[in-house]
Amino acid sequence: MIEDFLLRAAIGGIGLALVAGPVGCFVVWRRMAYFGDSLAHSALLGIALGFLLGIDPTLGVAATAIVAALLMAGLQVRQRLASDTLLGILSHGGLAFGLISIGLTQGLRTDLFAYLFGDVLAIDARDLAWIWIGGGAALVGLALIWRPLLALTVHEELARAEGKRVALAKLAYLLLIALVVAVAMKIVGVLLVTALLIIPAAAARGLARSPEGMAALAALMGVLAVLLGLAASWWLDTPSGPSIVAAATLLFFATAIGGTRLALGRGRA
Amino acid sequence: MQGPDAPLIAAEGVSLALDGRTVLASIDLAVHPGEIVTLIGPNGAGKTSLVRVLLGLVRPDEGRILRRPNLKIGYVPQQVDRDPVLPLQADRFLALAGPTTRARRQAALEEVGAAHVARHPFHALSGGELQRALLARALLRDPDLLVLDEPVRGVDVGGQIALYDLIDGIRKRRGCGVLMVSHDLHLVMAATDQVVCLNTHVCCAGHPEAVTRHPEYRALFGSAAERLAVYVHHHDHAHALAGEVLPIGEAGGHPHPHP
């Protein structure tokens, strides 16, 4: 008989993986891995904010992530610093301020480890609702902007010249990442959120022949990683969030090696 | 802007400054149906900026752009960064143009002589195949005007001649206007009706042979000007009797039949 908490963890993890895979494909295609990191770290402030305002912590994180995403996008338009330097400042600055805000808030300090690395075995029905409703909304949103977002990812100016709504698609995509970061926080924590976005997508690349195929495979890889990670956590008593990310990493290397052998066999990369 | 002789698109007194630096100064330019206009000029002359203003991607500080009502533009951009992390076949790249059918995409690839690349990964296309795929995506929009920013970039000389022939053929078959930014000065397509030499302002304009004799052009390009070769199309008419250099929009810019 499966324990209830393990079942909830699996349902929550699968829900997150289904949305993180497709959203993460664009993070990989648009080279936004560092952006995702900075966003997740800044979102740590949202936990203290949610606690102080007495609102749902996930809501606090979602609001903070959205504000941080808009600020970062605005800062990147006119800049003297290279993009990775700017994101590095925001990433580590966000983490530092987030940790301080949690440290200063009575009643939060003891849970610090859970915020950083997730605590999927402790998710409750409300968290599940957040994951499936928030994640479902993010997937629908992604489907709606899929065509213009893909076109601008391949060539932004050409997409603009063809009359596609580039600015709208970019803005909507930032909000989607913020939403995914918020729902992922409970499961893998702020330090590992980006891993769930980019590793399943990267693992899917070698097996995919179309953008949609890669998105679907990334979702599948994420689900596999969640199940393998939870199994390891159950049988080997390892921390659950890191176990999920470790499983995804092993899947990535497996497909990378398998994909290379396949490519060599076919005679072309 | 009505009637068959009216330009498809025209710039009137267009000026643009970027970060306080003047990039374009009082540019006049017009492209008529069935006409090929080639923009040449040194690096930083404002060629791509002018293209972006004409496409409506940048608003000029002064002047205006006049377009025919419902003008459809097919655009081939200069730089395409391709990343193998995105699994995209050439046919799918074409589909990004908008609502199309597989048959139309295949027909467009056939028109540019690249039917065989439909299933190839976009990131692995050769320089010539990439330019043809870009051209095919532009043709899918049924353009009245083709705007081609360095359409022979990354292609060897033999391939460049083939591409110029292809563009000339498309112009003749479809009767669309073509505005082209030239890849380099050494090979300007002879089918070009008008060359516009740009260096922030319009230095000179006219038939290719006439422009190469213009003093300002020679001052601009120095010894490179001596090496400029006008590629003569093997079944083209005699452009050797080129007229005088004329301001744009006057006699130099009118369409004329090509036998």
Residue A235 lies inside a defined structural domain of this protein: no
What does the pLDDT read at residue B231? 53
Contact in structure between A117 and A191 (CB atoms under 8 Å): yes
pLDDT at A17 over 70: yes
| Mean of per-residue pLDDT scores for chain A | 88
Give the C-alpha separation, A181 to B247, whole Å.
59
| B98 contact residues in A (CB cutoff 8 A) | 162
Nearest CA in chain A to B57: A161
With CB atoms and an 8 Å threshold, state whether A155 touches B73: no
CB contacts of A151 in chain B (<8 Å) are: 96
Residue B242 distance to chain A (closest CA, Å): 35
CB nearest to B77's CB, from A28, A155, A213: A155
Q: Considering only A57-71, B147-161, B180-194, which range has the smallest mean pLDDT?
A: B180-194
Q: What is the mean pLDDT of residues A194-218?
A: 95
Residue B239 has what pLDDT?
34
Distance CA A187, CA A234 (A): 15
Among B53, B54, B88, B125, pick the best mutation site for testing chain A contact (most A Cβ within 10 A): B88
Is position A58 within any domain? Answer: yes
| pLDDT tens digits, one per residue of B57-96 | 999 999 999 999 999 999 999 889 999 999 999 999 999 9
B57 vs A contacts (CB less than 8 Å): 157, 160-161
Q: Which residues of B touch A150 (CB under 8 A)?
A: 96
Residue B212's contacts (CB-CB under 8 Å, 6 or more residues apart) are B218, B225, B228, B230
Asked whether the beta carbons of residue A29 and residue B98 sit closer than 8 angstroms, the reply is no
The domain limits of chain B are: 1-72+143-221, 78-142
- Position B215 pLDDT exceeds 80: no
Facing residue for A29 by CB, picked from B86, B96, B122: B86
Domain that holds residue A150: 4-190
Alpha carbon separation from A51 to A44, A130, A180 (Å, rounded): 12, 17, 20
The reply to whether residue B96 touches residue A28, judged by beta carbons under 8 angstroms, is no
B52, B88, B98 member nearest A211 (Cβ): B88
Please check whether residue A48 lies inside any domain of the structure: yes
Q: How confident is the model at residue B253 (pLDDT cuts 50, 70, 90)?
A: very low
* Cβ–Cβ pairs < 8 A, chains A and B: 51
Gap from B195 CA to chain A (nearest CA, Å): 24
Name the closest residue on chain B to residue A211, using Cα atoms: B87
Choice between A28 and A44, residue whose per-residue pLDDT is larger: A28
Runs of H (alpha helix) within B79-156 = 90-95, 102-111, 127-139
Q: What is the mean pLDDT of residues B33-45?
A: 88
Chain A residues whose CB is inside 8 A of the B84 CB are 269
For chain A, say whether B92 makes contact (Cβ under 8 Å).
yes
pLDDT of residue B237: 36
Domain membership flag for residue A32: yes
Distance from CA of B137 to the nearest CA of A (A): 10
Close Cβ partners of B223 (under 8 Å, ≥ 6 residues apart): none
β-bridge mates for residue B62, sequence order: B15
Q: Is the pLDDT of residue B244 over 50?
A: no
pLDDT for residue B224 is more than 70 = no
Task: Provide the pLDDT for residue B250.
Answer: 38
Q: Please give the share of chain A, as a percent, with pLDDT higher than 90.
A: 50
- pLDDT tens-digit map of A84-129: 888 888 889 988 988 888 888 877 766 778 888 888 888 889 889 9
Q: Which residues of A touch B (CB under 8 A)?
A: 28-29, 147, 150-151, 153-155, 157-162, 202, 205, 208-211, 213-214, 269
The nearest CA of chain A is from the CA of B71 a distance in Å of: 12
Is the model's pLDDT at B230 over the cut of 60?
Answer: no
Q: What is the Cα–Cα distance from A207 to A266, expressed in whole angstroms?
A: 13
Using a CB–CB cutoff of 8 Å, tell me whether B52 touches chain A.
Answer: yes
Q: Check if the beta carbon of residue A116 is closer than 8 Å to that of residue A191.
A: yes
Task: Count Cα neighbours of B34 within 13 Å in the Cβ-side half-sphere.
Answer: 11
What's the pLDDT tens digit per position in B94-151? 999 988 999 999 999 999 999 999 999 999 999 999 999 999 999 999 999 999 998 8
β-pairing, B145-149 vs B177-181, is parallel
Q: How many angstroms away from the CA of B25 is the closest CA of chain A?
A: 23
Q: Homologous superfamily of B1-72+143-221 in CATH?
A: P-loop containing nucleotide triphosphate hydrolases (3.40.50.300)
Beta carbons of A162 and B98 less than 8 Å apart: yes
Q: Is B2 helix (H, G, I), strand (E, B) or coil?
A: coil
- The total number of structural domains in chain A stands at 1
Please, which pLDDT band fits residue B233 given cuts at 50, 70 and 90? very low
**Given CB atoms, is B98 within the 8 Å cutoff of chain A?**
yes
> DSSP readout, A69-135?
HHHHHHHHHS-SS-HHHHHHHHHHHHHHHHHHHHHHSTTTGGGHHHHHH--GGG--HHHHHIIIIIH
Span A179-190, mean pLDDT?
88
Q: What is the mean pLDDT of residues B237-244?
A: 36
Classify residue A21: in a domain, yes or no. yes
CATH of residue A166's domain is 1.10.3470.10
What was the pLDDT predicted at B3? 62
pLDDT given for residue B2 in this prediction? 56
pLDDT at A262: 59
Q: Does B65 touch chain A (CB under 8 A)?
A: no
Q: What residues pair up with A141 in beta bridges, in sequence order?
A: none
Tens of pLDDT, residues B147-171: 999 888 888 888 888 898 899 999 9
Closest Cα in chain A, distance from residue B98 (Å): 8
User: Do the domain assignments include residue A250?
Assistant: no
Q: Name the least confident of A50-64, B85-99, B128-142, B234-248.
A: B234-248
Question: What's chain B's average pLDDT?
Answer: 82
